[in-house]
């Protein structure tokens, strides 16, 4: 199979700064019709990578934010009443298979268990999507790709992916970018000067070190960008840090006071 011509991608490609070989691995997975699993903490760039690569590869992107009530029918489709008639309506996974797009299931372990049953025949050499309700069996074209993600540090054992499912995917482990990379990302996305972003990234690193003690999650790169955006728009630094890097992390007054002490020590 010939590699998909990246030069035919749309001009507007979402910004993404690679921190390792993730873009190269994503492209290889696409070219060889392999499913991909992205693992990493909230707000570290998983979703942006998928959007970036979909644009580079010139494929439509169907993103689904998974949740406890998401069923296989929500992905594949169902019969609905329209204008007095019962008609079949494709779900996002079916549309991606029909059109040769990339289907991205964010936080896949949050979905109901019947979702993984639907994914299995798409993630082996069959590459098929049986639609029991409509009686169809779709064969995925070469330019269809399935990408899923989850946060292993946040999930409980009861919501972990089964080994039989995990071993159907290539996998990439994400973490927050190295200091210089994260400063460059925050500056690029927020418009704030690099020298002003550096202290915020340093603060985030110290707050992340508290994960597992008083915090379930550390400050994400996404929150860092929000904070820098507020500062760039003219909000006082202390107000921006409180709104974007303290309040989202905890509701406990004593925990927030401890975080603010770290802010005072780090930023002076």
**Residue 226 neighbours by CB under 8 Å, 6+ apart:** 244
pLDDT of residue 7: 39
Taking the chain (268 residues) in consecutive chunks of 10 residues, what is each chunk's mean pLDDT? 42 89 97 97 94 96 95 93 88 96 96 91 95 92 97 66 91 95 97 98 94 82 97 98 95 92 92
pLDDT of residue 104: 98
Rg (Cα) of the chain, in Å, rounded?
21
- DSSP summary character for residue 34: -
**Strand 36-39 with 170-173, pairing:** parallel
Superfamily of domain 6-173: P-loop containing nucleotide triphosphate hydrolases (3.40.50.300)
pTM for this entry = 0.89
pLDDT of residue 211: 81
Cβ atoms 255, 215 nearer than 8 A: yes
**In the chain, what are the domain boundaries?**
6-173, 179-267
């Amino acid at each position: 199979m010939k590699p998909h011509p990246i030069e035919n991608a749309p001009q507007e490609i979402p910004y993404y700064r690679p921190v390792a070989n993730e873009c190269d691995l994503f492209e290889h997975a696409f070219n060889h019709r392999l499913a991909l699993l992205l693992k990493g903490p909230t707000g570290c760039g998983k979703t942006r990578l998928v959007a970036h690569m979909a644009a580079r590869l010139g494929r439509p992107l169907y993103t689904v934010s998974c949740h406890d009530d998401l069923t296989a029918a929500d992905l594949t489709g169902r019969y609905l009443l329209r204008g007095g008639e019962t008609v079949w309506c494709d779900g996002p996974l079916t549309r991606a298979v029909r059109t040769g797009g990339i289907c991205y299931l964010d936080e896949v372990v949050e979905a109901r268990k019947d979702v993984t049953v639907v994914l299995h025949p798409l993630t082996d050499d069959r590459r098929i999507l049986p639609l029991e309700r409509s009686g169809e069996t779709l064969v995925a074209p070469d330019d269809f790709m399935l990408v899923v993600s989850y946060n292993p540090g946040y999930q409980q054992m009861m919501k972990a992916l089964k080994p039989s499912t995990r071993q159907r995917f290539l996998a990439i482990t994400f973490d927050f970018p190295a200091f210089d990379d994260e400063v460059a990302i925050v500056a690029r996305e927020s418009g704030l000067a690099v020298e002003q972003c550096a202290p915020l990234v340093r603060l985030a690193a110290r707050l992340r070190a508290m994960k597992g003690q008083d915090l379930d999650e550390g400050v994400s790169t996404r929150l860092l960008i929000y904070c820098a955006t507020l500062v760039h728009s003219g909000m006082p630094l202390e107000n921006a840090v409180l709104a974007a890097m303290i309040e989202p992390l905890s509701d406990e007054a004593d925990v927030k006071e401890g975080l603010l002490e770290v802010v005072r020590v780090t930023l002076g």
